[in-house]
Amino acid sequence: MFRALAPLAPLALLAACASDPTVYPSLAPRPVEKLGFAEPATPPPAPTVQDPALEQELAAITVKGNTAARDFDKAAARAETLARAARGAKVGSDAWIAAQTAIADLDALRSSYGDTVGALDDLAAQRAAALQPAYPALEQALVNARATAQTQTERIDALAGSLPGA
């Protein structure tokens, strides 16, 4: 049977070569190319789901931070009084040493408040690492804590700057 078809094989190959050589694939834009290069619209943010465990942890950190901030404010008031008394005093005098000691105590209290900022930062970092959306209460607590820490730093710097240097 193959012998009978053998003379037809060259004809079949010749017929394939005889197709129109001027027909090429279309250069018209394909459907996907008509879509353009614009970024797709971002989906709306997912609604915030209450997280009772996070809320409880935030409350505990906030209470600790409020206590540290009150302690700082009390010590800052005392340091301001001592710094006012030491403004005209010489470096190394008892009034100057008392004011410098009070300012050093403020640094320690600022550090304890810094623990609050660190704890809030850790919570935010854990949420980000878990690819969870921002939690508004946590974000607001972080903003408030950072502002308080900045205010404490500025207050210490102002007190230290009001005293003559050693």
Please say whether the beta carbons of 54 and 135 come within 8 A. yes
Single out the residue of 134, 137, 133, 135 nearest to residue 145, CA to CA.
137
- What's residue 12's pLDDT? 63
Please say whether the beta carbons of 141 and 124 come within 8 A. no
**Where along the chain do its domains lie?**
52-162
- What's residue 2's pLDDT? 61
In whole angstroms, what is the distance from residue 68 CA to residue 144 CA? 14
Please say whether the beta carbons of 135 and 51 come within 8 A. yes
Q: Cα 115 to the chain's mean position, in Å? A: 17
Tokens of residue 86, six digits: 């030491």
Question: 72-126, pLDDT tens digit by residue?
Answer: 999 999 999 999 988 878 888 888 999 999 999 999 999 999 999 999 999 999 9
Single out the residue of 120, 119, 116, 105 nearest to residue 149, CA to CA.
116
In whole angstroms, what is the distance from residue 93 CA to residue 14 CA? 113
